């Protein structure tokens, strides 16, 4: 059996229709402590009741302004921080009961934005990639590392013995990707993994990610603030605002017509060279409210030009929008039961 076949080995017990990850009501609040006694004085609502599925073989993009909880969601998914509330089901196994965090971590790997900080400066590239497999007791970790270096486009004869500081940012990120793949993961979380790269290098790494996904049968969660990049790589997109999901759906549906006023404003800031593609939506003004004291009801109501009384009073639930059954948005203005309509608001705006 070749290396690739080994990495592809079928651990797909639940079949292709069962989501690889089912995250329900993920919640993480960070205490803020101050003063001599280090008392808790406030709570940051970093992630508040976030639910979503990641389907096998897809790329789920996560977008939203800085501080909306994207990285915290990723860290919860990989078990780097503990959930305050909520459940994670990994291919049908509930985390904590049917599958341990330790076992799940073998199947989920993460690549971070800072390619240099993620690597041990004292280890050569091949030692870095071989480290995980060695700890796991896998056969021939160095051979595996050299094989993976080739897969990420770095000639093992030139790069295996180099140190991280001898590499460019793009090359280091390729090493980080190889290191993640060395653990034969099923899910790879890319948290702003290409955001620090030059545009030309970014494009090369994005293409590499697409190739590796096919070759190793991977599933990606791709976090980025760059909406063009998310469109290129994702199958579905999840939009977060102040720790909550405001919209989720297939790329073509969301990029075609945004359902939530927040998504529409966010997308209006997206550069486009196509004059037919320009949105008339005014861009977002001001910063997001403080996550220590998130607004009541719909958290976007303080910045939303369509907001009515109902928006500050009650939290909107995710409901289907438009023609696509998988396109959901949490906005009172789309809820036929509430008697409101964004279309009406738009006409009078
Ligand atoms: N360890 C922590 N302690 C306190 N607050 C945190 C911590 N990590 C993140 N936060 C806060 O949680 C919110 C969400 O952060 P984060 O998930 O990093 O957002 P994003 O990745 O979308 O920029 C922010 O307000 C951030 O300041
Ligand atoms: Mg982040």
Say what the pLDDT of residue 223 is: 98
Say what the pLDDT of residue 107 is: 94
CATH superfamily of 1-107+185-271+281-294+314-330: P-loop containing nucleotide triphosphate hydrolases (3.40.50.300)
Q: How far apart are CA 250 and CA 335, in angstroms?
A: 20
53 DSSP assignment: E
Q: Give the tens place of pLDDT for each residue, 252-280.
A: 999 999 999 999 999 987 776 676 666 66
The residues near 290 (Cβ < 8 Å, ≥ 6 apart) are none
Q: How far apart are CA 136 and CA 134, in angstroms?
A: 5
Say what the pLDDT of residue 278 is: 64
How far does residue 156's CA lie from ligand 2's centre (Å)? Answer: 32
Site to substitute for ligand 1 among 28, 29, 30, most atoms within 8 A of C-beta: 30
Q: What is the pTM of this model?
A: 0.92
Q: Which residue's C-alpha comes closest to atom 18 of ligand 1?
A: 71
Sorted by where each begins, the domain ranges of the chain are 1-107+185-271+281-294+314-330, 117-184
How far does residue 67's CA lie from ligand 1's centre (Å)? Answer: 6
> Could you list the pLDDT tens digit for every one of the 349 residues in the chain?
444 444 444 466 778 889 999 999 999 999 999 888 889 889 999 999 999 999 999 999 999 999 999 999 999 999 999 999 999 999 999 999 999 998 898 899 999 999 899 999 999 999 999 999 999 999 999 999 999 999 999 999 999 999 999 999 999 999 999 999 999 999 999 999 999 999 999 999 999 999 999 999 999 999 999 999 999 999 999 999 999 999 999 999 999 999 999 999 999 877 766 766 666 666 777 788 999 999 999 999 999 999 999 999 999 999 999 889 999 999 998 765 555 556 444 443 3
Indicate whether residue 46 lines ligand 1 (CB < 6 A): yes
Which residue has tokens 């928006």? 311
């Amino acid at each position: 059996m070749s290396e690739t076949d080994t990495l592809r080995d079928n651990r797909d017990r639940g079949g292709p229709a069962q989501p690889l990850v089912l995250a329900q009501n993920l919640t993480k609040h960070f205490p803020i402590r101050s003063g001599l006694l280090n008392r808790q004085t406030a709570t940051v609502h970093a992630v508040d009741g976030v639910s979503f599925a990641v389907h096998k073989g897809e790329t789920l993009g996560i977008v939203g302004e800085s501080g909306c909880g994207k990285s915290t969601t990723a860290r919860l998914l990989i078990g780097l921080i503990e959930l305050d509330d909520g459940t994670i089901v990994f291919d049908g196994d509930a985390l904590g009961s049917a599958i341990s965090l330790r076992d799940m971590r073998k199947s989920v790997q993460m690549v971070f934005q800072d390619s240099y900080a993620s690597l041990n400066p004292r280890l050569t590239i091949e030692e870095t990639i071989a480290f995980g497999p060695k700890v796991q007791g896998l056969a021939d970790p160095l051979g595996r590392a050299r094989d993976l270096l080739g897969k990420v486009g770095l000639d093992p004869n030139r790069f295996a013995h180099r140190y991280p500081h001898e590499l460019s940012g793009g090359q280091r990120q390729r090493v980080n990707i190889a290191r993640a793949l060395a653990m034969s993961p099923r899910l790879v979380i890319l948290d702003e993994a290409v955001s620090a790269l030059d545009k030309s290098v970014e494009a090369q790494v994005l293409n590499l990610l697409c190739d590796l996904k096919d070759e190793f049968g991977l599933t990606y969660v791709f976090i980025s603030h760059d909406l063009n990049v998310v469109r290129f790589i994702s199958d579905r997109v999840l939009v977060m605002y102040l720790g909550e999901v405001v919209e989720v759906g297939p790329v073509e549906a969301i990029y075609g017509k945004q359902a939530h006023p927040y998504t529409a404003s966010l997308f209006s800031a997206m550069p486009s060279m196509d004059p037919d593609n320009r949105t008339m939506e005014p861009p977002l003004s001001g910063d997001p409210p403080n996550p220590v004291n998130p607004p009541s009801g719909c958290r976007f109501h303080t910045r939303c030009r369509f907001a009515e009384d109902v928006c500050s009073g009650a939290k909107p639930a995710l409901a289907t929008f438009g023609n696509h059954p998988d396109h959901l948005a949490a906005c009172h203005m789309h809820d036929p039961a509430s008697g409101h309509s964004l279309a009406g608001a738009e006409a009078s705006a």
